[in-house]
């Protein structure tokens, strides 16, 4: 399930809901991305989405991960709008029979979200605001998946 929300969400409640009632999935991996304060240099993140396009594109990524890694289930929650340091930006959860598939699918989805999800991130700080773009490391991470 893909959720875009402009409200703060509770990662723990999401994990409890996602993992409840699974008696055949031995493995649930999750990743939680938090807004960093950068020691005061980042006072807020602003995440811009184009909801009618962003949600379906993320859904395509999630379905690709589901097939490639034989997932039992997958969920992505992404904040949009203004996000304070320490708040959750993104959460990916994957359920599979065994841990390797769950880990790899979670890793894969995060790499795609970082560089291929239609979202635009602006960092606000004492010196002004700047648009954040994928780093060389983000692009190298994405290349690991061979597409």
Contact between 14 and a second copy by CB under 8 A: the answer reads yes
Residues 6+ apart with CB under 8 A from 131: 120, 121, 122, 123
Residue 17 near which of a second copy, other proteins, none (CB within 5-8 Å, type-dependent): a second copy
Residue 97 near which of other proteins, a second copy, none (CB within 5-8 Å, type-dependent): a second copy
Residue 48 near which of other proteins, a second copy, none (CB within 5-8 Å, type-dependent): other proteins
Burial degree of 5 (CB within 10 A; 0-12, 13-18, 19+): exposed
The rounded distance, in Å, linking the Cα atoms of 52 and 49 is 9
Q: What is the gyration radius of the CA atoms in the chain, in angstroms?
A: 15
Whose Cβ is closer to a second copy: residue 36's or residue 53's? 36
Binding residues (CB under 8 A) for other proteins: these are 33, 47-48, 50, 52-53, 56, 58, 78, 89-90, 99, 110, 113-122, 131-134
């Amino acid at each position: 399930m893909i959720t875009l929300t402009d409200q703060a969400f509770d990662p723990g409640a999401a994990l409890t809901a996602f993992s409840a009632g699974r008696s055949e999935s031995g493995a649930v991996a999750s990743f939680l991305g938090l807004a960093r304060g950068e020691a005061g240099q980042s006072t807020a993140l602003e995440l811009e989405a184009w909801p009618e396009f962003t949600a379906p594109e993320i859904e395509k990524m999630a379905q690709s991960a589901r097939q490639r890694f034989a997932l039992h289930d997958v969920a992505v929650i992404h904040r949009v709008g203004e996000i304070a340091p320490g708040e959750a930006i993104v959460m990916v959860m994957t359920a599979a029979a065994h841990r390797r598939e769950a880990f790899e699918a979670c890793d894969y989805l995060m790499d795609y979200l970082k560089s291929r999800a239609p979202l635009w991130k602006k960092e606000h700080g004492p010196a002004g605001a700047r648009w954040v773009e994928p780093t060389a490391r983000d692009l190298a991470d994405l290349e690991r998946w061979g597409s």
